[in-house]
């Protein structure tokens, strides 16, 4: 039987928006791109929550009035546009009033002030389905930003978004959902062996990754081959977790779930390329250890990258 995974929420995107909201650097329009099932829409909703949460952080399952209303689909300042079931596209009546159309149009809603929200959020799900007329009506809105209002468009078919719409949005790429399944698989393979190593790993995370270390400590790592090997395994696992979170995986697939707080902080510190470079360097050190080389220089370089 084929199991269909529920779309997951992209945590690194939510962290980014929480930070942008706090620092006042939100752009007025974003375009979430990525294949179907990669969590674009659920993440857009979660962004609306995190920007308006009364508890401050909108952890999953928050029941503050704002999060609750967004979950229930009746927050007055969150506007969702999606293809009506009976149509094949998003039609002009959903953007601007048209006689005898049963939809609530966006533009009159935008012209009144927010009732409750800190940031009003308009989500256009599958924006590639906007027909030409609706696209053009919406484009005018994008050209004249509405203060205090954030637009999030999602699409799995980027080429079907008008270039004029695309160029006015900041684009955020989502990883394929298969990535999270891959993560689950790799983790289950480690479970048995790893649980006994997690304690030792935590010592390395504190002692090597998060701490400043001096030349003497590095030397100690280099001299004890078993110790060095465990250290590098830890670095590999820990940065694998950071990479997964960066790419949108949730806490459930992490090896170091207990270090989620630190992982979230590091996700903000590094670009995806930084994390991959660190993992590559750690793999190089591991190869050196296995082949019996002196890995001090490689290990020093690794520490500098961290
Ligand atoms: Zn909340």
Could you say which of 121, 150, 173 is where a domain stops? 173
One domain for residues 136 and 221? no
One domain for residues 254 and 124? no
One domain for residues 121 and 155? yes
Are residues 149 and 123 in contact, defined by beta-carbon separation less than 8 angstroms?
no
Could you say which of 173, 205, 231 is where a domain stops? 173
The pLDDT value recorded for residue 74 is 94
Mean pLDDT of 156-161: 90
Q: Report the percent of the chain where pLDDT is more than 70.
A: 88
Are residues 164 and 130 in contact, defined by beta-carbon separation less than 8 angstroms?
no
The pLDDT value recorded for residue 270 is 92
The pLDDT value recorded for residue 266 is 92
Query: CA angle, 279 as apex, 220 and 296 as ends, to 5°?
Result: 25
Are residues 39 and 172 in contact, defined by beta-carbon separation less than 8 angstroms?
no
Kindly state whether residue 4 falls inside one of the protein's structural domains.
no
Chain-centre distance for alpha carbon 37:
14
Phi, psi of 7 (to 5 degrees): -60, 140
The pLDDT value recorded for residue 195 is 47
One domain for residues 91 and 221? no
Q: Which residue did the predictor score with more confidence, 272 or 117?
A: 117
The pLDDT value recorded for residue 6 is 47
Phi, psi of 67 (to 5 degrees): -60, -40
Kindly state whether residue 161 falls inside one of the protein's structural domains.
yes
The pLDDT value recorded for residue 184 is 45
The pLDDT value recorded for residue 199 is 59
- Expressed in angstroms and rounded, the spacing between residue 303 Cα and the centre of ligand 1 is 38
- Expressed in angstroms and rounded, the spacing between residue 35 Cα and the centre of ligand 1 is 28
Could you say which of 142, 158, 173 is where a domain stops? 173
Confidence (pTM) = 0.61
Q: Is pLDDT of 34 > 90?
A: no
The pLDDT value recorded for residue 255 is 77
Largest CA distance in the chain: 80
Structure tokens at 300: 């020093």
Q: Report the percent of the chain where pLDDT is more than 90.
A: 40
Question: What total number of domains does the chain contain?
Answer: 2
Are residues 130 and 124 in contact, defined by beta-carbon separation less than 8 angstroms?
yes
- Expressed in angstroms and rounded, the spacing between residue 175 Cα and the centre of ligand 1 is 26
Q: What is the CATH number of the domain that holds 138?
A: 3.40.50.300
One domain for residues 166 and 226? no
- Expressed in angstroms and rounded, the spacing between residue 45 Cα and the centre of ligand 1 is 12
Kindly state whether residue 64 falls inside one of the protein's structural domains.
yes
Kindly state whether residue 3 falls inside one of the protein's structural domains.
no
For residue range 124-140, what is the model confidence (pLDDT) as tens digits? 999 999 999 999 999 99
> Which of the listed ranges 4-8, 93-97, 188-192 does the model predict with the highest average pLDDT?
93-97
Kindly state whether residue 5 falls inside one of the protein's structural domains.
no
One domain for residues 167 and 185? no
- Expressed in angstroms and rounded, the spacing between residue 49 Cα and the centre of ligand 1 is 6
Q: Which residue did the predictor score with more confidence, 143 or 178?
A: 143
- Expressed in angstroms and rounded, the spacing between residue 56 Cα and the centre of ligand 1 is 7
Kindly state whether residue 283 falls inside one of the protein's structural domains.
yes
Residue among 42, 38, 43 nearest 157 (CA): 38
For residue range 223-232, what is the model confidence (pLDDT) as tens digits? 888 888 888 8
Residue 230 lies in domain: 178-305
- Expressed in angstroms and rounded, the spacing between residue 144 Cα and the centre of ligand 1 is 30
Are residues 158 and 19 in contact, defined by beta-carbon separation less than 8 angstroms?
no
- Expressed in angstroms and rounded, the spacing between residue 231 Cα and the centre of ligand 1 is 39
- Expressed in angstroms and rounded, the spacing between residue 189 Cα and the centre of ligand 1 is 35
Kindly state whether residue 1 falls inside one of the protein's structural domains.
no
The pLDDT value recorded for residue 226 is 81
The pLDDT value recorded for residue 52 is 94
- Expressed in angstroms and rounded, the spacing between residue 57 Cα and the centre of ligand 1 is 7
Kindly state whether residue 6 falls inside one of the protein's structural domains.
no
Mean pLDDT of 145-158: 93
One domain for residues 75 and 168? yes
One domain for residues 158 and 242? no
For residue range 173-221, what is the model confidence (pLDDT) as tens digits? 887 654 544 444 444 434 444 444 555 677 777 777 787 777 777 787 7
One domain for residues 205 and 190? yes
One domain for residues 286 and 207? yes
**Mean pLDDT in the chain?**
83
């Amino acid at each position: 039987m084929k199991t269909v995974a529920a779309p997951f929420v992209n945590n690194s995107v939510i962290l980014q928006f929480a930070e942008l909201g706090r620092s006042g650097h939100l752009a007025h329009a974003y375009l979430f791109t990525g294949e179907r099932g990669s969590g674009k829409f659920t993440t857009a909703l979660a962004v609306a929550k995190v920007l308006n949460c009364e508890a401050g952080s909108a952890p999953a399952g928050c029941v503050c009035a704002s999060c609750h209303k967004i979950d229930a689909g009746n927050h007055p300042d969150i506007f969702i546009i999606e293809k009506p079931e009976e149509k094949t596209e998003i039609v002009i009546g959903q953007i601007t009033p048209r006689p005898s159309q049963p939809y609530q149009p966006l533009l009159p809603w935008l012209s009144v002030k927010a009732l409750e929200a800190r940031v009003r959020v308009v989500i256009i799900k599958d924006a590639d389905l906007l027909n030409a007329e609706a696209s053009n009506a919406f484009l005018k809105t994008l050209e004249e930003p509405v203060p205090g209002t954030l637009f999030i468009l999602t699409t799995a078919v980027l080429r079907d978004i008008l270039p004029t719409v695309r160029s006015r949005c900041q684009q955020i790429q989502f990883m394929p959902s298969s990535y999270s399944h891959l993560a689950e698989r790799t983790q289950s393979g480690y479970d048995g062996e790893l649980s006994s190593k997690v304690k030792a790993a935590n010592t390395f995370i504190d002692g090597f990754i998060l701490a400043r270390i001096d030349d003497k400590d590095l030397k100690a790592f280099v001299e004890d081959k078993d110790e060095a090997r465990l250290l590098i395994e830890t670095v590999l696992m820990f940065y694998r977790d950071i990479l997964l979170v960066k790419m949108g995986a949730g806490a459930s697939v992490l090896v170091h779930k207990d270090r989620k707080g630190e992982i979230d902080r590091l996700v903000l510190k590094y670009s995806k390329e930084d994390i991959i470079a660190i993992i590559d360097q750690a793999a190089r050190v591991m190869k050196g250890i296995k082949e019996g080389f002196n890995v001090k220089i490689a290990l020093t370089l690794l520490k500098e990258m961290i």
